[in-house]
Amino acid sequence: MAGNDNGITEEIILEFEDNRLLALLCGEHNVHLSRIEQKLGVTLIGRGNLISIIGDLEAADLSRSALLRLYDQLEKGFDVTLAEVDAAVRMAFVTDSPKDETLQRKKHEAENEIVIRTRKTVLSPRTPNQASYIEALRDREMIFGLGPAGTGKTFLAVAMATSFLLEGKVEKIILSRPAVEAGEKLGFLPGDMREKVDPYLTPLFDALGQMISLEQTERRIERGEIEIAPLAFMRGRTLSNAFVILDEAQNTTPMQMKMFLTRFGENCRMVVCGDPSQVDLPDGSRSGLTDALDILKPIHDIAFVNFTAADVVRHPLVGKIVDAYDSRGAKKKK
């Protein structure tokens, strides 16, 4: 076909066997196709069970990869929303996809096996770093998830912990955070210790509610299968047969972090989540998370997954805000 200002134009035609799934792939009023057109600057035309992709060589290949990934998800019973479309486009940018359509389908099928299954949902990665993180959560005993808010560090860890509990791989889930105030004083909050601490653990509780019902969560807490506690409660314990998650780890002191990591026992899976750039400790205090990274990097048995603003899966504006703050921080260091 003729070239345009962007270079050589290519037309790729994809054929899909199931017209019902194809309709879900396209979305109501072709909203999913429109999103891909907007993101990649291509033209997508549906004809029967075919989709024609017209655009420059790179954009057309990226669109093919995204469409095949989404169709594979539909074949496996996953829902496709605009968020999933955005995720498929992000994944396509970092995946060297084979040109052969059959090989490409097989590659996407293998990638779609990187999922977390619980009673209420099946979660698939929305960015390449999330895919690496899910694999680490599944296969490694100690994992550090590092990066800005909105990247899924804690949510995916809670999801994997729930999956392990439901499958009988562990006997309990332990969720913890350091009780460090971000501007508010814990001592002035009304209520007993649990009522004072609960606001700090709400994100973990909310994530559990999405994996299993809130009623089930409460029942399992009462039975001791799920424990939600501030970091100070970990001292003196050995954590065995448990999936343990430390959230907001940047607000630990070096001694607290050492104490937590050395609680590791038999059949324990331990995940440390935090953003080294968001420390709420008093000025001049060294973060236990930063300290641990400096000390533990040489240990190959520990997985370190670093997220960036590109992995933010909340509103796109959140990623831009993270980038803006990171840019200012980089200028101050110069």
- Three-class SS string for 96-120? CCCCCHHHHHHHHHHHCCCCEECCC
Domain 9-111, CATH number (from 3.30.1370.10, 3.30.1340.30, 3.30.70.60, 3.40.50.620): 3.30.1370.10
pLDDT at 2 (0 to 100) = 37
d(CA 55, CA 61): 9
pLDDT at 78 (0 to 100) = 81
Q: Report in angstroms the alpha-carbon separations of 239 from 170, 236, 263, 265.
A: 11, 10, 6, 5
pLDDT in tens, the chain (334 residues): 334 445 578 899 999 999 999 999 999 999 999 999 999 999 999 988 999 999 998 899 999 999 998 998 898 888 888 888 988 888 887 655 545 555 455 455 545 567 787 777 778 888 889 999 999 999 999 999 999 988 999 999 999 999 999 999 999 999 988 876 444 444 444 554 445 445 556 767 777 888 888 788 888 888 999 988 788 888 888 899 999 999 999 999 999 999 999 999 999 999 999 999 888 888 778 999 999 999 999 999 999 999 998 888 766 676 677 677 777 766 665 5
Domain 116-333, CATH number (from 3.40.50.300, 3.90.1150.10, 3.40.47.10, 3.30.200.20): 3.40.50.300
pLDDT at 192 (0 to 100) = 47
pLDDT at 329 (0 to 100) = 64
Query: Residue 150 contacts by C-beta under 8 Å, 6 or more apart in sequence?
Result: 312, 313, 314, 318, 319, 322
Q: Where are the domains of the chain?
A: 9-111, 116-333
Q: pTM for the whole thing? A: 0.72
pLDDT at 87 (0 to 100) = 85
The 3-state secondary structure of 243-275 reads EEEECCHHHCCHHHHHHHHCCECCCEEEEEEEC
Angle at CA 269, nearest 5°, toward 268 and 275? Answer: 140
Of 56, 65, 71, 90, nearest to 18 by C-alpha is: 71
